[in-house]
Structure 1
Amino acid sequence: MIHTLNTSARRAFVLLALAAATGAAFAQKAPAAAANWPTKPVRILVGFPAGSTPDLVARTISEPLSRALGQPVIVDNKPGAGGNIAADMVAKATDNHTIGVLINGNMTIAKLLNPATPFDPQKDLAPISLIGTAPLLLTAPADAPGKDAQEFFLAARNAGTKWSYGTPGIGTVGHIGMELLKSKTNIDPVHVPYPGNPQVINAMLGGQVHLSLLPPGLAGPQIRAGKLKAIGVTSSGRSALVPEYPSLDEQGVRGFQLEIWTAAAAPKSLPRPVVDKLSRLIAEIVRTPEVRQKLFQQGWQVAGTSPEGLANRVRQETALLGGVIAMRGIKAQ
């Protein structure tokens, strides 16, 4: 019996020693593997056409990232399904040299909107870094009633379903954000989806819709030209992107905060040391004065977070937007 116990103890000791040695060897190899990565060109998948906002972001960071990595960084556009085609390709990539520049919906609510989505953002994507954020701007026709948000919302409540709002599609941040705004202000305009925000703007200019949540970069020129009217931005306070416009929160819609964002993500299979390396480099790149200015001109406030920072943002926004999706019964078509 004593011999058996001693043998068991020796066996356990050997196993523990082997595990410790293996762990130490892995710890030594992991940084080396990241240091030697990449060994071939890196591909950035973008789920929107050339010239789109995510495409411009990817191309802005691709050249400095290529210099930092010592390998070509190729931007590959795979548009469709609101960016989910590219996101699915990122999730399923196995070459350890494919990442994506994705938007809110791809990394948060894709599966909640459509259970048939072939990837699960929470399970299949590894956050790298939040690149940039921007509020939306509640916009109305130039002749919309009210001198401020409160008077505008009073008119909207009185109009009920006679008013309508436009979005670039079912399940977009503009759509879910407007449904959240409806719940906070007791307005009830009818949703009218369009192929994209340019068509929404044209519809407002033509009097077909009465309000919309739009990127400031698109709405700003029309507002400054006197063709549309700004009601307020969806940031918690005034945004550096459009400091001339007050926030909806400071005009009485307390707690209403909503942003669009773009981020770098990888397949879950990408080794964590490589994810950390990419995160550090991308954060450093977007914070350089040259890249920061380019992204600002494209309508983004630079973030440059750690993987954990982006993961926290994904969790928070999935809970917020997912709650609206459940409350309003929103489903992608």
Structure 2
Amino acid sequence: MHATKRALLIACGLAAAAAMLPLSANADNAAWPTKPIRLLVGFPGGSTPDIAARTIAEPLSKALGQPIVVDNKAGASGNIAADQVAKATDDHTLGIVINGNLTSSKMLYPKLPYDPVKDFTYLSLIATAPLVLVAQNNLPSGAAFFDEGRKAGDKWNYGSVGIGSVGHLGMELLKTRVPGFKPEHVPYQGNPQVITAMLGDQVQMGLIPPGVAMPQIKAGKLKAIGLTGGRSALVPEIPPLADAGVKDFNLEVWVALLGPSNLSKVAQARISRELETVMKNPDVRRKLFEQGWQAVGTSPDGMRTRVNEEAAIMTKIISARGIKLQ
């Protein structure tokens, strides 16, 4: 009799615990968010980080049950917006950042108002893309391009969107991978201006995102030397630079989602859960792909590992080359 009673009590206890599980999950869902979420983007509307932000904002908003308001705070290569995210205290402010905000800004800006390591809660990478080494159409292809570049010495120039940009640091990294290759840097306001400079014979090359470079390449006005990494579904027709003899040169541009360091555990868990589903959504992946991005989704730890690895590479290049913002 006593054994039967004990069995009934245990069964009732298990049933009660099981019944509470969905209620607990629902309680967590109701706890956050409690108002619209502000998504800060440190670049103007229509920029590639802005496009990525708006692509995920709508489906993530539906999943979270609150509006997500994309707020463009352009300036200082995205650092103004990143600083505002770092200092947010309302648990409803997130940010979209690019490589440089987390991997090179601390070295380039001695008075950077935020710490890329301590002041953020890393959430996930959103999208990545390789860069294309684009050159003037009259120059040779493959390994012959670098042979010609060695002969030219510092008479060749390359363009980028500014000191400390991925295009600038990437080219300086490329120069360490190709001994004797010494093109000089010429900064411009944007990649369209870099392309115009190539067409105008002011610079010979530049590392350009595929979405910007491909129209000129397909039109036969510029030449693709290779990709900064392995082959990519974004541009399957372009070979990796490894095919031209460049070894150990893997570099991508990327955008990522983060929050302030004080973002609540409830918010972190909810975002991670919903974002994982959003990043698997075929429509989201298609829209990002059409804009020149490969959709990705990482754990917070995966994002941190990526940031740490790239920061070590960029710190070494900035220090070795003595790169400073003027």
TM-fit CA distance, 1:66: 1.1
| Counterpart position of 2:32 | 37
TM-fit CA distance, 1:273: 3.1
TM-fit CA distance, 1:250: 3.1
1:136–1:214 contact (8 Å) kept in structure 2: yes
- What CA distance in whole angstroms lies between the structure 1 residues aligned with 2:266 and 2:147? 54
Q: In 2 relative to 1, CA 34–113 (structure 1 residues): closer, same or farther, beyond 3 Å?
A: farther
Residue type at the aligned position of 1:225: A
TM-fit CA distance, 1:29: 9.0
Helix, strand or coil at the partner of 1:204? helix
| Counterpart position of 1:303 | 296
| Counterpart position of 1:249 | 242
How big is each residue's C-alpha offset from its partner over 1:273-325, in whole Å with a ceiling of 9 and x where there is no partner? 31232122222112210000000011111111111111111111101111111
| Counterpart position of 2:113 | 118
Corresponding position: 1:71 with 2:66? yes
TM-fit CA distance, 1:31: 9.0
How big is each residue's C-alpha offset from its partner over 1:225-274, in whole Å with a ceiling of 9 and x where there is no partner? 00000000001x21110000100123321111100000001000101331
| Counterpart position of 1:219 | 213
- What CA distance in whole angstroms lies between the structure 2 residues aligned with 1:283 and 1:167? 34
TM-fit CA distance, 1:34: 5.7
Residue type at the aligned position of 1:193: P
Q: In 2 relative to 1, CA 318–71 (structure 1 residues): closer, same or farther, beyond 3 Å?
A: same
- What CA distance in whole angstroms lies between the structure 1 residues aligned with 2:310 and 2:24? 36
- What CA distance in whole angstroms lies between the structure 2 residues aligned with 1:254 and 1:112? 26
TM-fit CA distance, 1:36: 1.4
Helix, strand or coil at the partner of 2:117? helix
Residue type at the aligned position of 1:112: M
- What CA distance in whole angstroms lies between the structure 2 residues aligned with 1:94 and 1:34? 20
Helix, strand or coil at the partner of 1:95? coil
| Counterpart position of 2:258 | 265
| Counterpart position of 1:22 | none
Residue type at the aligned position of 1:178: M
Corresponding position: 1:279 with 2:272? yes
How big is each residue's C-alpha offset from its partner over 1:93-118, in whole Å with a ceiling of 9 and x where there is no partner? 00100000110011222111111111
1:139–1:214 contact (8 Å) kept in structure 2: yes
Residue type at the aligned position of 2:220: G
Corresponding position: 1:80 with 2:75? yes
| Counterpart position of 1:231 | 225
TM-align CA RMSD = 1.5
Helix, strand or coil at the partner of 1:38? coil
- What CA distance in whole angstroms lies between the structure 2 residues aligned with 1:30 and 1:69? 13
| Counterpart position of 2:130 | 135
Q: 1:195 aligns with which of 185, 189, 197?
A: 189
| Counterpart position of 1:103 | 98
| Counterpart position of 1:10 | none
Residue type at the aligned position of 1:67: K
TM (normalized to structure 2)?
0.90
- What CA distance in whole angstroms lies between the structure 2 residues aligned with 1:176 and 1:121? 18
Residue type at the aligned position of 2:311: T
- What CA distance in whole angstroms lies between the structure 1 residues aligned with 2:172 and 2:246? 14
Residue type at the aligned position of 1:301: Q
Q: In 2 relative to 1, CA 231–69 (structure 1 residues): closer, same or farther, beyond 3 Å?
A: same
Structure 1: stretches of 5+ with no match in the other structure: 1-27
Corresponding position: 1:183 with 2:176? yes
- What CA distance in whole angstroms lies between the structure 1 residues aligned with 2:268 and 2:324? 33
TM (normalized to structure 1)?
0.88
| Counterpart position of 1:21 | none
- What CA distance in whole angstroms lies between the structure 2 residues aligned with 1:261 and 1:141? 26
TM-fit CA distance, 1:33: 4.8
TM-fit CA distance, 1:32: 4.5
- What CA distance in whole angstroms lies between the structure 2 residues aligned with 1:310 and 1:249? 26
Helix, strand or coil at the partner of 1:122? coil
User: How do residues 4-23 of structure 1 correspond to structure 2 at under 5 angstroms?
Assistant: none
Q: How many residues align?
A: 303
- What CA distance in whole angstroms lies between the structure 2 residues aligned with 1:324 and 1:33? 45
